[in-house]
Chains A and B, each alone.
Chain A
């Protein structure tokens, strides 16, 4: 089983749509959680951290359920510029070292 699992997509949605991405992680000792965005042939960029209380940044809302080991990202009012791959990332302290474990990413394509 992969440490971080995501639906690879692609999600093809029209502008203005609301889309939700899900992610599960296997290590219950994981400490921090993030969503990154990666455009084609570019480096990942931090979109938002995910806190237990949930957090919102404009059109983006992230939720964490530690009991279910589940993370979600909701994008409202999708824009063309939201088209990218969204990476679910889990920070784990394992074997004495801090590590970021990446999911394979979910591709989003927003069309006019």
Chain B
């Protein structure tokens, strides 16, 4: 299947600092990428849809000024957690859509995730 990478795989930062997470599609171009967050023992929650060359679309309740998304190329989207606080500690996962070849049908492949701990 398609390969999506994320960097870093884990990060520990101090409260008040900003952290940037990169998501790359390695063997395909992705016009649309997605950012999810998963707290322990909970499901993935979609945070935002990242569109190449345009503004990201944020889900209700997700602060766009706190979670900055940039999708500057067809293979890279970045999520910056600004002024991180302990409650932002979570598992952040990106994904990219890949057409299946069936009409209007896509599959999503996920990056390995980034575990953020804010102290």
Bound together, the chains give a CA A85 to CA B45 distance in angstroms of: 16
User: Interface code B85-118, partner A: CB below 8 Å = 1, 0 otherwise?
Assistant: 0000001010101001000111111111101000
List 11 A-B residue pairs with CB atoms under 8 Å apart, sorted by A's residue number.
Answer: A32-B105, A34-B107, A41-B115, A42-B113, A46-B1, A46-B107, A91-B106, A97-B57, A98-B97, A100-B108, A104-B43
Query: Hey, which chain B residues are within 8 Å of A97, CB to CB?
Result: 49, 57
State the B residues within 8 Å of A (CB): 1, 32, 34, 42-46, 49, 57, 91, 93, 95, 97, 100, 104-113, 115
**Chain B: minimal CB distance from A97 (Å):** 6
Interface size on A, residues (CB 8 A): 21
Query: Hey, which chain A residues are within 8 Å of B109, CB to CB?
Result: 46
Query: Hey, which chain A residues are within 8 Å of B115, CB to CB?
Result: 41
Bound together, the chains give a CA A37 to CA B78 distance in angstroms of: 25
Q: Is A43 in the interface zone, CB < 8 Å from B?
A: yes
Query: Hey, which chain A residues are within 8 Å of B95, CB to CB?
Result: 100
**Chain A: minimal CB distance from B17 (Å):** 24
Bound together, the chains give a CA A31 to CA B93 distance in angstroms of: 23
